[in-house]
Amino acid sequence: MSVNLNTVKNDQGLKPKPAWNVFRRFGRSEDGSLIIFSLFLLIMMLIISGMAVDLMRTETQRSRLQSTLDRAILAGASLNQTLDSQAVVLDYFNKAGFADSITAGDIIIAQSGSGKAVTASASIQVNTFFMNMIGIDTLKAPAIGTAVESKTEVEISLVVDTSGSMGGTSSSGNSKIDDLKAAAKEFVYLMQCDPDATAPFDGNCTIDPDSVSVSLVPYNEQVLLGETLIQQFNTTEEHANSSCIDFEVADYSVVPVELDPLLLGGVSDPTPNLRRSATIDPWGNADNAVDWRRACSPYSQRTVSAYENNYQDLEVAIDALYASGYTSIELGMKWGSALLDPAFRPAVTNMADNLGIISTNFVGRPFDYNEPNVKKVIVLMTDGKNTTQHLVRDGFRAGPSPFYENSATDSHAGHVSVFDPVSNDYYWVEHDTHNPAPDGNADAAQLSYPEFWDQYSWDYYLTVDGPANLPAAVDQVFNAAKDTRLEAMCNEAKAQGIAVYTMGFETSTASSLVMQSCASTPSHFYDVDGTDIGLAFHSIANTINALKLTN
């Protein structure tokens, strides 16, 4: 029996639907689609969360690696480290369990005179737990860093006025020279012992030995170098009674002073360019020269102390200072600058290695101007203004003079006669007469110019100048010219990067302007009275030490 499905009805009287309609309805139905989408989202969230876990694990390992590297390079860069820096770094990684993360080639050591730098890089591969599902099996964790430890090397020229006016009384009631001594001694203590100390000082030093060199440069009309120091320069040798140098105008437009060619590997110069000062006494109307009145006094109490490393030795030198003579600020500035110039380095080496009068730790100083972590400083003080400098002319400095001295033991002993080039005879000074032969005849001993200037004053020369028709032997450099030279010298020092601090100690307005112009900036100039000079030196010391701590 055949059944016509189109005529079949169910209990409700409806025709049954064909089976394919069920599948068709299922295909068109949107019920439950969000469940499928949610499953995809869940899978993606699991993957992303897994990636975060892998990344966090990698960052944790990277942090451990970076921490190890930081500790390692800091230890390797320490200036107190006695072991090989590369070996120290590798040992740190080995003990931290990261031996395979770094090789010797990943470590770079850079050493300089004032410090050490250690640069290192390392990396590890961290296995992934989740990211391997998307083909990433490992993540790289790198670490890199540089550690630098350095000390600031400081070179100071302390240039102080010891001219006659410094013997006067300041507003403190003390002599100016005594106020200066107290302030200068405190300054060197703060620079070479303890920058944070307050008086009374206990001598417990916190500053690294030999990190600060101080050259004390006292000046009046001249700067007394001392025989050892002057021998380092290419200077004439007509006498050894004093140790100053006369400069030309052009010398104030350059910082260095020419060294002895022997120090530079050359041969001795038969015609040195620098002129040793004559021992002229330009003061008063006395016939005989007196040491304390000489333009270049031979008294050692005012000798330059170059590259001192001990504040106690400097305090002794400062205590010995005394006041006398004219004022040549430009000469003090010249020598203060020259002692900081790298051209002076062979002299420091010679005085350290061969003469033993400078610490061998200062070999290599003065450093180059562009040397990192090096500070060059001039502290220049005066209580007045430039006055006069006396320069014996060429032709009157060496060789035989026209002066004869009677060496007999009779009543004419010591009598002086002078050859008169106009009358072609001899002027007898004590007798005020002209004669065909010098006083004493065969007993008359001709004096060399160094011998004459050593025994007789410039006033004595001028006394016999007229009767004996002598040519002018001495030039004078006065205030205006000296100020011009000072300005040139200050500008040249500042151009080289030297920090110039200046101090006017109870000076006039005009003198203060000169000193302010010399300073690196207006704030580098101090205008002080009385015991305020101590506050000024203290302020300068604090400023220099603050610059040291920033490195």
- Strand boundaries in 291-346, DSSP class E: 305-308
d(CA 119, CA 485): 48
Q: Could you tell me the pLDDT band of residue 132, with boundaries at 50, 70 and 90?
A: confident
Q: Could you tell me the pLDDT band of residue 381, with boundaries at 50, 70 and 90?
A: very high
- The pLDDT value given to residue 20: 60
Burial of 344 (0-12, 13-18, 19+ CB in 10 A): buried
Owner of token pair 């800091």: 74
- The pLDDT value given to residue 11: 54
- The pLDDT value given to residue 89: 96
- Specify the 3-state DSSP secondary structure of 371: coil
Residue 4 pLDDT > 70, yes or no?
no
- The pLDDT value given to residue 219: 98
> Measuring CA to CA, which residue among 384, 395, 396 is closest to residue 482?
384
In DSSP terms, 212 is beta-bridged to: 154
What sign results for the dihedral spanned by CA atoms 132, 134, 135, 136?
Answer: negative
**Taking all residues of the chain, what is their mean pLDDT, rounded to a whole number?**
91
- The pLDDT value given to residue 302: 95
Between 441 and 29, the more confident residue is: 441
Q: What is the mean pLDDT of residues 195-208?
A: 87
Token pair listed for 183 = 């302030």
Residue 31 pLDDT > 80, yes or no?
no
What sign results for the dihedral spanned by CA atoms 111, 112, 116, 117?
Answer: negative
Q: What is the mean pLDDT of residues 279-283?
A: 93
> Measuring CA to CA, which residue among 255, 480, 259 is closest to residue 378?
255
- The pLDDT value given to residue 5: 47
Cα 142 to Cα 63, 73, 369: the distances in Å are: 9, 15, 38
Q: What is the mean pLDDT of residues 30-50?
A: 69
Residue 360 pLDDT > 80, yes or no?
yes
Q: Could you tell me the pLDDT band of residue 13, with boundaries at 50, 70 and 90?
A: low
Residue 3 pLDDT > 60, yes or no?
no
Q: Using one digit for the tens of pLDDT, what is the confidence trace for 328-343?
A: 999 999 999 999 999 9
